[in-house]
């Protein structure tokens, strides 16, 4: 890990492979990773449909330690595993937890699986939580990547997204992460919020790029079922406009490439050496363990999911049981279908394989090829227009 005075970007990238390379995309399949869900939030953002618990819903600080204990119990169940290549703390808001609680959890993972030297250990943080002191303590707890939920640099947009921080909080947070030597700093953006102008978006992009992040994730605002946003839209509030979102996406594509960021997935950009391992492993159908509320695990075609309610989770784990809510075992054919379903989101695409052959042999596949929505080269199938990825996925034969 580089020292505080080593400049803006980590000087020793972990891997000099381009984020969008096929080699990296395939190598990720062998990585092992773990996800830890921290559900606590000050309040629920109107667009969010994750497993979140606000203080009013029983997520008061006095419950945090109990939840961490439960997570540690869950980690101690099940067989030992090989050392992890990537660890991701998501939420909710992991940065609500005190650093010593985070440290206990990293320790728990070390005990269960071990963590490889040089592994990516990441957490999501809200800019307003990410003070220099906090950043320093989190780095000491073993984290080397932070994902800052900036969303926008426009105060009006931040307000309509229900966010409490300001643009300068985000800029200060990036500085704080740099100062304590985080290897990778990611900025999360949301585009296409109704009311956000193109100029506002361009400004957000430019300010995000000026902060020189190693990684950038940009998500189109999506109306998820059951959220406050979906209720508002249902009662007449403006919905995100896909054409507006397409324009904004194209702007970011151009600006990101000028800044040297490589797009390696539909919504993700990275500098060389900074592609997110945890996500790459997911898109490569790698194995991962998930701990906590609503967390998912994947082991060789078996996908499991945990319960989403805090009281149920605590109750189950404290009584020594697994908090599993359901599972599905994929057949060989389903796994092959899923290989493309996930893999085609990457710029590197996926090996054609039997699912790809079936697509290319279909009328729909030929039309997509003709319209240059997809392309084939080096034995790989790629989506050439990432914004139309789902139009491609819908044509994948279910039984390749």
Partner 1 sequence: MLDPLQAPMTDHARIRNFSIIAHIDHGKSTLADRLLERTGAIAQRDMREQVLDTMDLERERGITIKANAVRLEYLAADGKSYVLNLIDTPGHVDFSYEVSRSLEACEGALLLVDASQGVEAQTLANAYLAIEEGLEVIPVLNKIDLPAAELERVEAEMIGILGGESKDVMRVSAKTGEGVADLLEAIVHRLPPPAGVATGPTRALVFDSYYDSYRGVVCNVRIVDGVLRRGEEVRFMATGIQATVDEVGVRRPAPVPVAALGPGEVGYLITGIKEIELVRVGDTVTATSRPAPRPLTGYREPKPMVYSGLFPTDGDDFERLREALDKLRLNDSSLVYQAETSRALGFGFRCGFLGLLHMEIVRERLEREYDLDLVATAPSVEYRAHLTDGGEVAVRSPQDLPEARRLDSISEPIVRAMIITPREYVGTVMELVQQRRGQMGEMTYLTPERVELHYRIPLAEIVFDFFDQLKSRTRGYASLDYEPADYQRAALVRVDILLNEVPVDAFSSIVHSDRAFRRGKAMVERLRELIPRQLFDVPVQAAVGGRVIARETIKAKRKDVLAKCYGGDVTRKRKLIERQKAGKKRMKMVGQVEVPQEAFIAALRIDE
Is 267 a residue that touches partner 1 (CB under 8 A)? yes
What is the C-alpha to C-alpha distance for residues 197 and 10, in angstroms, rounded to an integer? Answer: 34
| Tokens representing residue 210 in the block | 């000026």
Stretch of 95-103, 110-118, 280-288, 354-362 lying at the interface with partner 1 (CB under 8 A): 280-288
Q: Which of 18, 282, 291, 347 binds partner 1 (CB under 8 A)?
A: 282
Query: Chain centroid to CA 115: how far?
Result: 20
Residues 131-170 that bind partner 1 (CB under 8 A): none
Is 264 a residue that touches partner 1 (CB under 8 A)? no
Q: Which of 223, 342, 369, 384 binds partner 1 (CB under 8 A)?
A: 342
For residue 227, the minimal CB distance to partner 1 (Å) is: 14
Stretch of 2-10, 104-112, 349-357, 387-395 lying at the interface with partner 1 (CB under 8 A): 387-395
Is 300 a residue that touches partner 1 (CB under 8 A)? no
Q: Where are the alpha helices (DSSP H) in the chain?
A: 22-27, 64-76, 99-112, 132-140, 155-160, 167-179, 198-210, 228-234, 242-258, 277-283, 310-318, 332-343, 353-361, 363-370, 389-393
Residue 234 CB partners (closer than 8 Å, separation 6+): none
Q: Which of 242, 321, 377, 379 binds partner 1 (CB under 8 A)?
A: 242
What is the C-alpha to C-alpha distance for residues 245 and 81, in angstroms, rounded to an integer? Answer: 42
> Could you give the string, one character per residue 367-386, with x where binding to partner 1 holds by CB under 8 A and - elsewhere?
xx--x-x------------x
Q: Which of 182, 201, 249, 264 binds partner 1 (CB under 8 A)?
A: 249
What is the C-alpha to C-alpha distance for residues 248 and 201, in angstroms, rounded to an integer? Answer: 7
What is the C-alpha to C-alpha distance for residues 282 and 345, in angstroms, rounded to an integer? Answer: 11
Three-point CA angle 311, 316, 322, nearest 5°:
130
For residue 245, the minimal CB distance to partner 1 (Å) is: 5
Three-point CA angle 69, 319, 312, nearest 5°:
80
CB 85 within 8 A of CB 32: yes
End-to-end CA distance of the chain: 45
Is 341 a residue that touches partner 1 (CB under 8 A)? yes
Is 388 a residue that touches partner 1 (CB under 8 A)? yes
78 pairs with which residues across the strands?
A: none
Is 64 a residue that touches partner 1 (CB under 8 A)? no
Stretch of 108-116, 162-170, 176-184, 389-397 lying at the interface with partner 1 (CB under 8 A): 389-397
Stretch of 33-41, 165-173, 196-204, 316-324 lying at the interface with partner 1 (CB under 8 A): 33-41
Residues in contact with partner 1 by the rule CB under 8 A: 33, 35, 37, 50, 90, 219-222, 242-243, 245-246, 249, 266-267, 278-279, 282-283, 288, 290, 294-296, 298, 303, 305, 328, 338, 341-342, 345, 363, 367-368, 371, 373, 386-391, 393-395, 398
């Amino acid at each position: 890990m580089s020292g505080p005075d080593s400049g803006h970007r980590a000087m020793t990238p972990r891997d000099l492979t381009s984020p969008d390379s096929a080699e990296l995309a395939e190598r990720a399949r062998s990585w092992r990773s773990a996800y830890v869900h921290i559900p606590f939030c000050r309040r629920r953002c109107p667009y969010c449909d994750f497993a979140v618990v606000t203080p009013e819903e029983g997520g008061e600080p006095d419950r945090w330690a109990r939840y961490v204990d439960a997570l540690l119990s869950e980690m101690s169940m099940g067989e030992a595993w090989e050392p992890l290549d990537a660890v991701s703390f998501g939420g909710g808001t992991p940065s609500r937890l005190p650093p010593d609680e985070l440290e206990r959890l990293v320790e728990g993972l070390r005990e269960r699986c071990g963590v490889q030297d040089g592994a990516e250990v990441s957490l999501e943080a809200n800019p307003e939580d990410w003070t220099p002191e906090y950043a320093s303590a989190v780095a000491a707890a073993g984290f080397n990547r932070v994902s800052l939920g900036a969303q926008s640099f426009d105060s009006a947009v931040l307000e309509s997204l229900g966010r409490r921080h300001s643009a300068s909080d985000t800029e200060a947070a990036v500085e704080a992460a740099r100062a304590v030597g985080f290897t990778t700093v990611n900025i999360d953006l949301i585009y296409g919020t109704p009311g956000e102008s193109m100029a506002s978006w361009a400004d957000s992009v430019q300010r995000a790029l000026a902060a020189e992040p190693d990684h950038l994730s940009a998500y189109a605002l999506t109306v998820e079922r059951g959220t406050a946003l979906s209720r508002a839209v249902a009662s007449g509030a403006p919905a995100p406009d896909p054409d507006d979102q397409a324009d904004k996406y194209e702007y970011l594509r151009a600006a990101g490439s000028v800044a040297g960021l490589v797009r390696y997935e539909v919504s993700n950009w990275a500098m060389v050496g900074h592609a997110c391992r945890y996500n790459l492993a997911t898109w490569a159908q790698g194995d991962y363990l998930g701990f906590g509320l609503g967390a998912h695990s994947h082991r060789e075609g078996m996908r499991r999911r945990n319960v989403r309610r805090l009281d149920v989770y605590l109750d189950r784990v404290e009584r020594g049981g697994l908090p599993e809510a359901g599972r599905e075992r994929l057949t060989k054919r389903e796994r092959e279908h899923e290989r493309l379903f996930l893999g085609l989101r990457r710029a590197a695409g996926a090996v054609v394989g039997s699912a790809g052959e079936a697509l290319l042999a279909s009328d729909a596949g030929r039309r997509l090829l003709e319209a240059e929505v997809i392309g084939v080269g080096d034995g790989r199938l790629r989506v050439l227009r990432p914004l139309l990825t789902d139009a491609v996925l819908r044509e994948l034969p279910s039984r390749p």
